Amino acid sequence: MYKDDTIYYPQDEMNTFLLPITSGCSYNKCAFCSMYKDVKYCQVPFPDIEMQLRSGDLYTEKVFLTGADPMSIGFDKMKRLLDLIHRYLPYCARVASYASIKNISRYSVEELSILHDSGLRLLYIGFETGRDDVLELMNKGHTVNEAIQQATKLNEAKIQFNTVVMYGIAGKGESVDNALATARMINQFITSRVITMNLTVFYGTELDSRVKKGDFIPPDGKERLLEIKTLLETLEPKQSMIFDTTHPTNIIKIQGTLPKDKEMLIGKVKKCMSGF
């Protein structure tokens, strides 16, 4: 049950009011993920949500919806939820959430625009890679074209989002090509931030089984750094965006604004590569 769940949230939301909305993952099939494997998906009942909101600080300015993908509850419930947040936390200016391409596709532009106007202002989305073969290998549940379509839809609805990508995910010898493909994908929409994560092989996952069988060979550290460098070199944002590798999984911690800080960031990656 959700009350005993481990709560996952982005490091930028460390001081944000956390509001449980779902338990487990509505998809729960990604080959690399172990977070929700033993948790049955369910939605937190609205009376419980309302109780949490009543206990919140009236002057709360930011709320983060917890669960693998709260957008899975659908438009009607999400609108009701945002209205509840506004009722109990009238000073809240921004509601944020994790989201998947698969579940965003269930919403129309008009519905997303309504949710934006009701307070949903930021999504953290796992795009992972710009290669269809890798998405299929990792059983991600969406294609590159679908990712671009949903990102463009969010742009039209004016909902900002952070693009989460994973280096090392394509395997040994594939990092440069993966970076090029991922940058090409990101260059086709506007995102507030690109957040990188370093592929981690978690015990008991489908990916762990493939690695043990020798069906998937992760790249070494230097190749992973080359992937970050290539991604930085190839990104051409339509407007300023943050490039962020400060997540704990990363083998290098850098952050800056593209395109302004591109050369500085590339220089830091090159310096790190020289140590391998």
pLDDT at 4 over 90: no
* Average pLDDT of the segment spanning 148-152: 98
The identity of residue 266, as a single letter, is I
**Residue 2 banded pLDDT, cuts 50, 70, 90:** low
Decide if pLDDT at 195 tops 80: yes
Q: Six-digit token pair at 212?
A: 């043990």
pLDDT at 80 over 60: yes
Average pLDDT over residues 200-208: 95
Q: pLDDT confidence of 1, banded at 50, 70, 90?
A: very low
* pLDDT tens digit sequence for 10-40: 999 999 999 999 999 999 999 999 998 888 9
Predicted local distance difference test score (pLDDT) of residue 170: 98
What pLDDT digit, counting tens, does each position of 210-259 carry?
Answer: 999 999 999 999 999 999 999 999 999 999 999 999 999 999 999 999 99
**pLDDT value of residue 50:** 96
Q: What is the dihedral of CA 97, 102, 104, 109, to 10 degrees?
A: 170
Task: Name the percent of the chain in helix, strand, coil, to the closest 5.
Answer: 40, 20, 40
Average pLDDT over the chain reads 96
Total-model pTM:
0.96
Contact partners, residue 236, CB within 8 Å, separation at least 6: 183, 187, 259
